[in-house]
Amino acid sequence: MTEDLFDRIEEAHRAIRPQVAVTPLTFSPMLSAASGCQVYLKCEHLQHTGSFKFRGATNKVRLLDPQTRRNGILTVSSGNHGQGVALAGKLAGVPVTVYAASTASPVKLEAIRALGAEVVTLDDSNLGVELEAARQAQLKGMKFVSPYNDLDVIAGQGTIGIEIHEQARAEHVQLAAVFASVGGGGLISGVGTAVRRLIPGAAVVGCWPANSTALYSSLKAGKIVESEELDTISDGTAGGIEPDTITFDIGRNVISDTTLVTEEEIKAAMKRVAQTDRWMVEGAAGVALASMLKRAPEYQGRAVAVILCGRNIVLEKFIEAVQ
């Protein structure tokens, strides 16, 4: 599957480049000095809609057939994926409906509405909403776009890996590791596939909040299992996974190492990057940075890339986290 997926990623890289932002891979002197590594930040929080999700959404929408474009697409999201799909749909003239749990941030849901999508909230868990959204899409004749369980979406996210390779090579940087946060696994499946092919000497490190480990627990068990989900500031990676998700098999093939971080470590990382690089990032980005800082002793003197996957956090929540 990874061979075919890499071909899809290369195609997506060529096709969506005019629509997406080529985000910078920036060297962080202060994080490097503090960690003992050469730290490069892949600034996906500067992507359109404030997260990497616009890449996968754009790739999915471009591949829709004419009838599906007329019928519209339906997805599920706590914020970032919904915004990405909403904007991609708006630009292509495709109607978008987004299902979300009633506990989702009202600010994030309003951002989705502002991009022209219809928002439907349900009193259920994230996984429960996801399964109901897929059912409703089938009933209504709409295309369901999973945030992660979709090869076209994964291929779009994988274009980040190609950019990291191109940008590191241009600076004559040999990366020893790439750190990416994991929820459903769409980001790391795509990025990991690209990195494994293009930077074979680099570790692909999957990063989870200890409070939300659905795919991590499944990978450790060797099969998809249920895991207890606790509250986490990394709401972009929170929730369960579909029982047939393709990211399980892809993840087994591309993730070379894993790291769990506590809520305190995530918040400390969010504060650290705000102080050192003046970036305000969301909890999911903090997960990847916290994981790098935790594993830094293993990469002393070597170059590592950390994907800052998004910035969409409510201001009050960010202030509370970094105090």
CB neighbourhood size of 1 (10 A) = 12
The pLDDT value given to residue 241: 87
Query: Which pLDDT belongs to residue 125?
Result: 85
Which of the four pLDDT bands, split at 50, 70 and 90, describes residue 64?
A: very high
Q: Say if residue 2's pLDDT is above 80.
A: no
pLDDT for residue 1:
64
Q: Work out the pLDDT band at 228, boundaries 50, 70, 90.
A: confident
> What is the arithmetic mean of pLDDT over 191-218?
98
Pick the more confident residue, 63 or 128.
63
Tell me what the pLDDT averaged over the chain comes to: 96
- Token digits for 203? 């570790």
pLDDT recorded at residue 242: 85
Contact 105/95 with Cβ under 8 angstroms? no
**Average pLDDT, integer, range 267-284:** 98
Give every CB contact of residue 41 below 8 A, 6+ residues apart in sequence: 25, 26, 28, 31, 273, 277, 279, 305, 306, 308
Looking at per-residue confidence, does 78 or 268 come out higher? 268
Q: What is the pLDDT of residue 105?
A: 84
Tokens of 110: 């309003």
Domains of the chain: 2-52+151-322 (3.40.50.1100), 54-145 (3.40.50.1100)
